Amino acid sequence: MSQQRTSLLDSISDFFKSLFGSPPPSSQQPSASLPSDSPKPVITDEPLVTLAPKVLAIVYNPVVDQLKNLRLVEWGVKNRGWQRVDDLIAGYIKDIDECSGGLVKYNVTQRIDVDGFPLKLSGKRFAALDYLDLYTNNQSKYKEPDDRFDYQDFIKEFNLSSRVNNQEIDEVWVFAYPFSGTYESVMCGTGAFWCNGPVVENTHGRRFVIMGFSYERGVGEMEEDLGHRMESVMAKIYRAEDFLHWTYAYDRSKNPFEKLEPNKYNVVKYAQTNLFAKFLLYDRIAPLNAQCGNVHYAPNSQKDYEWGNSKSVMTDADDWLTFPNFHGVQKLQNATAWGNGDIRGHHKWWFTRFPKVAGRMNGIRMNWWSYICDVTNPEFDKPVG
Instruction: Identify the band that residue 28 occupies on the pLDDT scale cut at 50, 70 and 90.
Output: low
Q: Is residue 101 part of a domain?
A: yes
| Residues 279 and 291 sit within 8 Å (Cβ to Cβ) | yes
The rounded percent of the chain whose pLDDT value lies above 90 is 86
Residues 6 or more apart whose CB falls under 8 angstroms from that of 251 comprise 257, 258, 259, 260
pLDDT (average), residues 16-32: 42
Question: What are the helix and strand counts (H, E) for the chain?
Answer: 12, 15
Q: Are residues 331 and 282 in the same domain?
A: yes
Q: Are residues 256 and 359 in the same domain?
A: yes
| Residues 361 and 43 sit within 8 Å (Cβ to Cβ) | yes
Whole-number pLDDT of residue 110: 98
| CA proximity to 107, closest of 117, 97, 118 | 97
The two most distant CA atoms of the chain are separated, in Å, by 97
Whole-number pLDDT of residue 36: 55
274: domain range?
28-42+240-367
Whole-number pLDDT of residue 146: 81
Which amino acid makes up residue 30?
A: P
SS3 call for 114:
strand
Within 10 angstroms of residue 103's Cβ, the number of other Cβ atoms is 20
Whole-number pLDDT of residue 29: 53
Whole-number pLDDT of residue 145: 80
Instruction: Identify the band that residue 14 occupies on the pLDDT scale cut at 50, 70 and 90.
Output: very low
Q: Are residues 97 and 213 in the same domain?
A: yes
pLDDT (average), residues 33-45: 75
Instruction: Identify the band that residue 12 occupies on the pLDDT scale cut at 50, 70 and 90.
Output: very low
What mean pLDDT value characterizes the chain? Answer: 91
Whole-number pLDDT of residue 192: 98
Q: Where are the beta strands (DSSP E) in 204-361?
A: 208-214, 250-251, 258-259, 313-315, 329-333, 356-361
Residues 6 or more apart whose CB falls under 8 angstroms from that of 31 comprise 316, 319, 328, 329, 330
Within 10 angstroms of residue 152's Cβ, the number of other Cβ atoms is 14
Whole-number pLDDT of residue 184: 98
Instruction: Identify the band that residue 141 occupies on the pLDDT scale cut at 50, 70 and 90.
Output: confident
| CA proximity to 99, closest of 236, 219, 270 | 219
Among the three residues 236, 262, 279, which one is the final residue of a domain in this structure? 236
Q: Are residues 267 and 152 in the same domain?
A: no
d(CA 333, CA 343): 17
Among the three residues 181, 201, 236, which one is the final residue of a domain in this structure? 236
pLDDT (average), residues 75-83: 97
Instruction: Identify the band that residue 185 occupies on the pLDDT scale cut at 50, 70 and 90.
Output: very high
What distances in angstroms separate CA 97 from CA 106, 253, 343, one per listed residue?
8, 39, 18
Structural domain tally of the chain? 2
Instruction: Identify the band that residue 4 occupies on the pLDDT scale cut at 50, 70 and 90.
Output: very low
Q: Are residues 199 and 270 in the same domain?
A: no
Q: Is 351 left (phi over 0), alpha (psi -120 to 50) or beta?
A: alpha
Q: Is residue 10 over pLDDT 50?
A: no
Residues 6 or more apart whose CB falls under 8 angstroms from that of 252 comprise 303, 304
Among the three residues 171, 205, 236, which one is the final residue of a domain in this structure? 236
Q: Is residue 32 over pLDDT 80?
A: no
Q: Is residue 6 part of a domain?
A: no
Q: Is residue 105 part of a domain?
A: yes
Whole-number pLDDT of residue 9: 39
Element at 186 (helix H, strand E): strand 185-188
pLDDT tens by residue, 248-280: 999 999 999 999 999 999 999 999 999 999 999
Q: Are residues 125 and 255 in the same domain?
A: no
Q: Is residue 377 part of a domain?
A: no
Q: Are residues 128 and 227 in the same domain?
A: yes
pLDDT tens by residue, 204-250: 999 999 999 999 999 999 999 999 999 999 999 999 999 999 999 99
Q: Is residue 3 part of a domain?
A: no
SS3 call for 233:
helix
Q: Are residues 116 and 177 in the same domain?
A: yes
Q: Is residue 1 part of a domain?
A: no
Q: Are residues 87 and 38 in the same domain?
A: no
Q: Is residue 375 part of a domain?
A: no
d(CA 51, CA 142): 39
pLDDT (average), residues 149-157: 98
- For the ranges 20-29, 197-206, 331-340, the lowest mean pLDDT is seen at 20-29
Q: Are residues 296 and 246 in the same domain?
A: yes
pLDDT tens by residue, 286-324: 999 999 999 999 999 999 999 999 999 999 999 999 999
Supply the DSSP string of 6-74, one letter for each residue.
Answer: PPHHHHHHHHHHHHH-SPPPPSEEE--SS-TTSPPPPEE------B--EEEEEEE--EEETTTTEEHHH
Q: Are residues 67 and 163 in the same domain?
A: yes
Whole-number pLDDT of residue 384: 63
Q: Is residue 5 part of a domain?
A: no
Whole-number pLDDT of residue 39: 76
| CA proximity to 109, closest of 49, 169, 28 | 169
| Residues 342 and 355 sit within 8 Å (Cβ to Cβ) | no
Q: Are residues 256 and 354 in the same domain?
A: yes
> Is the Cα torsion angle 206, 207, 212, 218 positive or negative in sign?
negative
